[in-house]
Amino acid sequence: MPFRDVVAARGHRRLADLLARSVARDMLPPSLIFSGPAGPDMREMAIATAQATNCLTPTGEGDRRDACGSCAACTRIARRVHPDVMVIEPGDNGAIKIDQIRDVIERAGFRPFEGRRRVVIIDEADTMASGPQNALLKTLEEPPPSSSFILVTARPDMLLPTVQSRCPRLRFQSTGREEIDEDAREIAHSVLAQAAATDDPGRRIDAAKDLLAKTGAGGRGDREQLASHLQAMAALLRDVEVLATCADDEVLANGDVRQDLQRLVTSFGGDRGVRAFAAVDQALAALDRNASTKIVADWLVLQL
């Protein structure tokens, strides 16, 4: 899952931008702690980092490097079979064992097989007892070149102080919800509601104007504004899908506007919603490539 999809679904845009920049400049630190509430957000961001690092056909200009999400490297990383991206997690007994750490340290000593950089993700790193943590510490103190270790944890204080002090920490907020701009969300919702109400292309193109910045100058600020509307739209569509499949309400990013979402289920639950989500994703990628904001907005409303 590329950064743009993680941000659309979970928020954490500031952290994603920071990581994208580090990857673009080949300055990803040799070790990092991702700390924040339990849940998939941090793990997904770690995978996105590994993909942006090793993608064969990365997207985004300059510092906005992102993975394509579909090349052989991205696919293998997502399936956890890429030789340079290792994900360590607790076994059946709920703990990460010292053998798992020794194995990963040994492999991290070699140059990457095919990627740019080896990325080792240690999920639920707090389940390492002091033995495995001490084994890892030596590697964190003298990190092998071309390797980065990402320790993911909801309980960073369970890590040894020596381990904590070796790793810069990125803090994830409790939910992406606060990061969804209220105005952006309102606009995204109204455009979806209008698309649900009419197939008339003219009226839809009218709605597209709401997605664009009022200045209309087409500069960087305008692109960012359109991107924030699109990200809000992706988060709404994802929630509609959650409601349509009767999944757990707890995972809604926009639970506070549940009734508005429920009204969109008839139109956007199922295939149409999935296609709309993909179109929003494509629109965001086009913006990354500096496509005209008006063309992107017009194109998108016709796909909804």
Residues that bind Zn ion (CB under 5 A): 55, 67-68, 71, 74
DSSP line for 101-156: HHHHHHHHTSPPSSSSSEEEEETTGGGB-HHHHHHHHHHHHSPPTTEEEEEEES-G
Residue matched to tokens 């990092």: 32
Residue 195: both structure tokens together = 């698309």
Helix 182-197 vs helix 220-244: crossing angle, to nearest 10: 60
Closest approach of Zn ion to the CB of residue 2, in Å: 8
CA distance 228 to 212: 10
Full strand arrangement of the beta sheet holding 85-88: 85-88, 118-122, 147-153, 31-35, 169-171
Measured from the CB of residue 68, what is the shortest distance to Zn ion in angstroms?
A: 4
Tokens found for residue 251 = 């995972």
Query: Rounded to an integer, what distance in angstroms lies between the CA atom of residue 150 and that of residue 161?
Result: 16
Residue 204 CB partners (closer than 8 Å, separation 6+): 194, 195, 198, 301, 302, 304
Q: How far is the CB of 227 from Zn ion (least distance, A)?
A: 20
Q: How far is the CB of 4 from Zn ion (least distance, A)?
A: 13
Rounded to the nearest whole angstrom, what is the least distance from the CB of residue 53 to Zn ion in the complex? 10
State the minimum distance, in angstroms, from the CB of residue 52 to Zn ion. 9
CA angle 96-97-100, nearest 5°? 95
Nearer to Zn ion, 7 or 74 (CB): 74
Q: What's the distance, Cα to Cα, between the start and end of the chain in Å? A: 22
- Residue closer to Zn ion by CB (options 13, 82) is 82
CB of 67 to Zn ion, least distance (A): 5
Closest to Zn ion by CB, 59 or 139: 59
CB nearer to Zn ion: pick between 74 and 240:
74
* Distance, CA of 22 to CA of 267 (rounded, Å): 40
Residue 49 or 133: which CB sits closer to Zn ion? Answer: 49
- DSSP per-residue codes, 216-228: ---SHHHHHHHHH
- Smallest separation, CB 146 to Zn ion (Å): 19
C-alpha 220: how far from chain center:
22
Question: Judged by CB, which is closer to Zn ion: 197, or 278?
Answer: 278
User: By C-beta, is 71 or 137 nearer to Zn ion?
Assistant: 71
Q: Which is nearer to Zn ion, 78 or 213 (CB)?
A: 78
